[in-house]
Amino acid sequence: MLPIAIIENINRIPQGQPIDFLIWPITIAGIAALLYYVTKAAPKGEEKRNSEDEKWIVNFMSVEIGSKAPEFTLSNQDGELVSLKEQKGKVIVYFYPAASTPGCTTQACDFRDNINSLKSAGYTVLGVSPDAPAKLKKFQEKEGLNFELLSDPENEVQMAYGAYGKKSMYGKEYMGTIRSTFVVEDGKVTHSFLNVKAKGHIEFLRGKLGL
């Protein structure tokens, strides 16, 4: 369908008027239509809905199941370095946006309450967020968390796993952590769960892992 601006100009053309009369308004209308399509209407990637705090998430890259898990060494809540390769058995690496926020607290406490049964099944839990070690320490002490909390302030590990991307809240776009969980065994990713819900996450995880 022709833009309204073009139709209006066509209707105003006197009989016998050369078609060159339309070049300028058509050019302007065409550019405006193109800009609208690029910024508003064009698809921007794989979009996923998050019912908790973000309306839409566009995730461009994620590690594939069966691929080598990206290695990392990060500071924990005590400022000590923790490496993925040093962990024994199966490792649950979960990424969350921010310590002490409602959703992240719900998820962390869910892990806390189920940590013994997860350990019995051979799993180690590592929580990763952009928070500084000092903030993670307060989070751990306040909630009585019984697993490692790791600091990824530059978002490098999040990006390596595809747990960092474009998000939108109340119409404003920004880059941030995508709540995601990965299971690593023998250096390879065996399970990948992107854009998960904080509430009921352990129940969901148990079902997927057959626990």
Catalytic residue, from 63, 99, 104, 157: name it. Answer: 104
Helix, strand or coil, per DSSP, at residue 211: coil
Cα–Cα distance between 112 and 19 in angstroms, integer? 74
Please give the residue that has the higher pLDDT: either 9 or 169.
169
62 pLDDT band, cuts 50/70/90, is confident
170 pLDDT band, cuts 50/70/90, is confident
199 pLDDT band, cuts 50/70/90, is very high
- C-beta separation of 174 from 167 below 8 A: yes
What's the pLDDT at 61? 67
Chain-centroid distance of CA 12 in Å reads: 52
The per-residue pLDDT for range 12-39, each reduced to its tens digit, is 445 544 444 444 444 444 444 444 433 4
Q: What is the mean pLDDT of residues 180-201?
A: 96
The per-residue pLDDT for range 174-185, each reduced to its tens digit, is 899 999 999 999
Q: 160, 151, 13: which is closest to 73 by C-alpha?
A: 151
- Residues in a beta bridge with 149: 127
The per-residue pLDDT for range 144-155, each reduced to its tens digit, is 999 999 999 999
172 pLDDT band, cuts 50/70/90, is confident
Examine the pLDDT at 68 and tell me if it is beyond 70.
yes
What's the pLDDT at 86? 95
What's the pLDDT at 174? 85
What's the pLDDT at 9? 43
109 is catalytic: no
CATH of domain 47-209: 3.40.30.10
5 pLDDT band, cuts 50/70/90, is very low
Helix, strand or coil, per DSSP, at residue 51: coil
Please give the residue that has the higher pLDDT: either 159 or 46.
159
- Which residues have CB under 8 Å from 26's CB, separation 6+? 6, 9
* Domain residue limits, the chain: 4-41, 47-209
Neighbours of 150 (CB within 10 A): 23
Q: What are phi and psi of 34, to 5 degrees?
A: -65, -45
